[in-house]
Amino acid sequence: NAGVTQTPKFQVLKTGQSMTLQCAQDMNHNSMYWYRQDPGMGLRLIYYSASEGTTDKGEVPNGYNVSRLNKREFSLRLESAAPSQTSVYFCASAWGASNQPQHFGDGTRLSIL
Amino acid sequence: RKEVEQDPGPFNVPEGATVAFNCTYSNSASQSFFWYRQDCRKEPKLLMSVYSSGNEDGRFTAQLNRASQYISLLIRDSKLSDSATYLCVVNYGSQGGKLIFGQGTELSVKP
């Protein structure tokens, strides 16, 4: 009964380092999403993948890249981390139709020093 | 204008109170609406979908007014465990499964 699994749960990086956040879902969902959540800003969409093999930019894509590795997995990469990317990152998945809700992983808390 | 706007919080209410949250959205093409609940530093969880006719789930009632582009959530007989942030969520009009999240309204239920 895992749902959406994110790794790691916590990470501290130095400015300029790179890292990849991993996300996997076991609900056979078509669509997957990456959000960041900052105090006072709410959830903001970084990138999404409507289906396996496709990815699209969301509201705040700069500084990030994504890979939809297969139907289950959707990774988020920071090539050169900046302090402005300190945030809580959530991955979500959904069937993909507009009337379907999204299901979230429990988040990755990332600090960039 | 923000795409999804919610009542500013926090709402501090005693146990047993009835509390209502309001939300407005700007995209008239939006078709799907949800309320999510988020506990401190945890992931958002679906509370309920919002249907055109309005819907109820136990102590929770959601209403949709498409003409005014307005959504509401009513919580009756508040419990301590209802303390959380409530997020109003609207789909991104014609762009399929993309959702826009409001900033959330914090609710604190006191004994």
Residues of chain B with pLDDT > 90: what percent?
Answer: 75
**Residue A77, SS3?**
strand
Q: Give the residue from B25, B99, B103 with the most A CB atoms within 10 Å of its CB, the best one to mutate.
A: B99
Mean of pLDDT over chain A: 93
Contacts of A105 in chain B (CB under 8 A): 43
Contacts of A42 in chain B (CB under 8 A): 87, 101-104
With a CB cutoff of 8 Å and minimum separation 6, the contacts of A11 are A19, A108, A109, A110, A111
- Residue B31 to chain A, least CA–CA distance (Å): 7
pLDDT tens column, A24-60:
999 999 999 999 999 877 899 999 998 888 999 998 9
Give me the pLDDT at residue B107, please: 96
Average pLDDT over residues B4-24: 94
Two tokens, residue A9: 């749960």
| C-alpha distances in Å from residue B80, one per residue of A93, B42, B85, B107, B108 | 30, 17, 13, 10, 8
pLDDT for B96 beyond 70: no
Mean of pLDDT over chain B: 91
pLDDT-derived band at B1 (thresholds 50, 70, 90) equals low
Sign of CA dihedral A98, A100, A101, A104: negative
Contacts of A88 in chain B (CB under 8 A): 41
Are the CB atoms for A106 and A6 separated by under 8 Å?
yes
Q: Give the residue from B36, B101, B105 with the most A CB atoms within 10 Å of its CB, the best one to mutate.
A: B101
Phi, psi of B81 (to 5 degrees): -70, -10
A27 touches chain B (CB under 8 A): no
Contacts of A31 in chain B (CB under 8 A): 96-97
